Amino acid sequence: MVIPDKVGNDRQTTVDIPSLDRLTRRSIRSFVVRNGRTTDAQSDALQRLLPHYGLPYSDSPIDLAPAFARSAPAWLEIGFGNGDVLLNMAAEHPDVNMLGVEVHESGIGHALIGVEAQALDNVRIVQHDAMEVLENMLTAQSLDKVLLLFPDPWRKKRHHKRRIVQTDFLNAVANTLKPGGVLHCATDWADYGTWMLEKLEQDDRFMNQAGPGQISTRPAWRPVTRFERRGHRLGHTVVDLLYTRR
């Protein structure tokens, strides 16, 4: 079904919302499945480009090198939103295999449009729950960097169990990162920043690059994200946390 958007804007198409059981088997999820509206351009990109740039989710570990048609350092971005950072980093680091994981069609469509426009052949996208990707699809010590930028903060206390940064998450990241690899988290939600810091400081497998208990400011090489700009408009302070896998 085609729905006219605001006059002069791209039209929007209602696409099938991926069923939850196609995205995850976990009962507690860090994401919500939003409505399935994508622009015509995004739908077109999803159809044409996902077969090339998408990696189907696998319940068993895969070798990343054939998926990128080369061996190279691998960086994972979890919840890339519309893909601005994913694309920026892929363009800045052509020597890196950039793997992006996201669940939302419109964000993936947006990212794919950019991937094609910039001819970025070092990007692959998995449309699936990142927790299952980390736990099932990626092999031990296969990643050089994990980026978790502005994850959904799940502000209400009764929703804190949906925050992605939990013991299971740190176990999976510790397993998939190479020794010396980096976990980079950022948030503009102070309470979530404290939550992340507490969990990471208690975990001997990770070493805080800023020193014990310290937060980092945004490294110049980390692009500002869409959600970060929103945080700035709301007057929020942004916290970056960079930890090295021991």
Ligand X SMILES: C[S@@+](CC[C@H](N)C(=O)[O-])C[C@H]1O[C@@H](n2cnc3c(N)ncnc32)[C@H](O)[C@@H]1O
Where does this chain bind ligand X (CB under 6 A)?
30-31, 78-81, 101-104, 107, 129-131, 149-152, 164, 225-228
Neighbouring CB atoms inside 10 A of 206's CB total: 22
Residue number of the CB atom closest to ligand X: 79
In the complex, the smallest distance separating the C-beta of residue 97 from ligand X, rounded to whole angstroms, is 18
In the complex, the smallest distance separating the C-beta of residue 226 from ligand X, rounded to whole angstroms, is 4
Contacts of 176 (CB under 8 A, 6+ apart): 76, 134, 138, 139, 140, 141, 142, 143, 146
Environment class of residue 61 by beta-carbon count within 10 Å: exposed (0-12), middle (13-18) or buried (19+)? Answer: middle
Neighbouring CB atoms inside 10 A of 171's CB total: 14
Closer residue to ligand X in complex, CB, 31/206: 31
Beta bridge partners of 183: 146, 243
Contact call for residues 21 and 33 (beta carbons, < 8 A): no
In the complex, the smallest distance separating the C-beta of residue 134 from ligand X, rounded to whole angstroms, is 9
Q: Is 168 a catalytic residue?
A: no
Catalytic residue among 84, 129, 144, 152: 152
Closer residue to ligand X in complex, CB, 102/240: 102
Contact call for residues 87 and 114 (beta carbons, < 8 A): yes
Closer residue to ligand X in complex, CB, 232/246: 232
In the complex, the smallest distance separating the C-beta of residue 96 from ligand X, rounded to whole angstroms, is 18
Closer residue to ligand X in complex, CB, 67/207: 67
* Residue numbers annotated as active site: 152
